[in-house]
Each structure stands twice: as C-alpha cells, then as structure tokens.
Chain A
Amino acid sequence: KAGVTQTPRYLIKTRGQQVTLSCSPISGHRSVSWYQQTPGQGLQFLFEYFSETQRNKGNFPGRFSGRQFSNSRSEMNVSTLELGDSALYLCASSLGSTGETQYFGPGTRLLVL
C-alpha cells in the first residue's frame, strides 16, 4: 500500500499571503489529522477530519482551516501568513476508529519570509 503523501514538500511564502497544503491518506483510511511541528512547540495538533467533517480541533487561530473531500483527501489552508507560521506541517491518516494508529506523511516545510 502506498503511504501518506503530501504536496508540496517545500514552500516559501511572504507575510500576508495564504497557502494551501494537500494530503492524500493511505487507501481505505477515512481520518486525516494535521499537525504543526516547530522547534519551540514540538508537534501540535491542528484538526482532524473524518468523512468530510471536522471531528476535532486544536488550539490554533481561525486563520488555519481545512477540509476533506469525498475521496478522503484533505487540504489545509493558512490565510494571512505570519513569520511564526514557518514550520513543518504533517498530516496523518488512520482508519478513524478508537485506538487506531495514525500514520504520517513526509510533511510540507513552509517558510514564511
């Protein structure tokens, strides 16, 4: 089975711009979660989508949003980018039931200048 894929792998944006990141889960997985990794804060949960619905949300401002399509692919969007949004954005997929292991993609490295 193919793993979780994320595009693009690297991205450079300037402050005030917006960005959209894409994640394709493992085939058959219906849950997609997004995480932000920074040196200072570590890995932090952004949100989780299951069957096209946001099921859980972390403590991030409304500039961070996401959606999931009927084929379980997910996108996350960050509007009005700030320097502090520079991070590695990771998505993880799972079957979506209780106790299911989440499998991560390689991440998208975002640099905001």
Chain B
Amino acid sequence: DQQVKQNSPSLSVQEGRISILNCDYTNSMFDYFLWYKKYPAEGPTFLISISSIKDKNEDGRFTVFLNKSAKHLSLHIVPSQPGDSAVYFCAANLNQAGTALIFGKGTTLSVSS
C-alpha cells in the first residue's frame, strides 16, 4: 500500500503562472517531508523540506505547505519557468535517524513558454 501518493501524474503550466504539485500521505508518524526534482538520467535534486512542526516553508520561488490534519502537502512554484520542467517527487520519513525516504510516484511538470 502506497504511504505517499502523488495522484496527478502530470501537470502543464504556462511560464509565469503558478505550479501547484500535491502530495498525500497515510502514515501519521511521518515527521519530515521533502520535495525533489529529477531530470531524466540524473539523480533527484533536493528542493525544499518541511518539518511536521511547521505548516509552511519558503525558499525563493518554492513554497511547501503542510496540512497535518488532512495529511496533505503541496509545493508551489511561483513564477514557473521552462527550466522547472522535470519530474517532482514528494518524500517523507520518520523522525528517526537512518530511516528510509518513502517516495511518491512523481508528477511530471511541463512549463511552456
């Protein structure tokens, strides 16, 4: 059973607009959430993270929102740029050293100019 779900396999957005990528999780013990961006034939690149004690974290054009009661997080990219086109993975883990990252299946973002 998938503990981290990204229900939208793909998302298309115009340059300059907002991209919103969503992620749901089932394990209430998850304590730390991360977003990674991945290009083909490369490893995932860390984007932004959020601890469960926060509901928002911002880094430049990227903002992650966490709604613990809904077990939902989202990544907002504003403004979207063509270079943002990639696969975005949501990941979660427990608040224990050495625990595995549990990944969603990814959402492919396409930003058109």
Chain A interface (Cβ < 8 Å from any Cβ of B): 4, 6, 31, 33, 35, 42-45, 48, 50, 55-56, 58, 88, 90, 92, 96-107, 109
Beyond A56-B100, A96-B98, A105-B43, 11 extra complex contacts between A and B, CB < 8 Å:
A35-B103, A42-B105, A44-B103, A45-B101, A50-B97, A56-B99, A88-B41, A99-B32, A101-B49, A107-B41, A107-B43
Among A98, A100, A109, find the residue whose CB has the most chain B CB atoms closer than 10 A: A98
**Considering only CB atoms and an 8 Å cut-off, how many residues of chain B contact the other chain?**
26
Instruction: Among A58, A98, A101, A107, point to the contact of B100 (Cβ < 8 A).
Output: A58
Chain B interface (Cβ < 8 Å from any Cβ of A): 31-32, 34, 36, 41-46, 49, 51, 89, 91, 95-106
Least CB distance from A61 to B in Å reads: 17
Given contacts A43-B89, A104-B43, A98 and B97 within 8 Å (CB-CB): yes
Give CA–CA (A87, B91) in the complex, Å: 20
Least CB distance from B94 to A in Å reads: 9
25 of the cross-chain contacts (CB-CB < 8 Å) are A33-B101, A35-B103, A42-B106, A43-B89, A45-B101, A45-B102, A55-B98, A92-B101, A96-B98, A97-B97, A98-B95, A98-B97, A99-B32, A99-B95, A100-B97, A101-B34, A101-B46, A102-B101, A103-B46, A104-B36, A104-B43, A104-B44, A104-B46, A106-B42, A107-B42
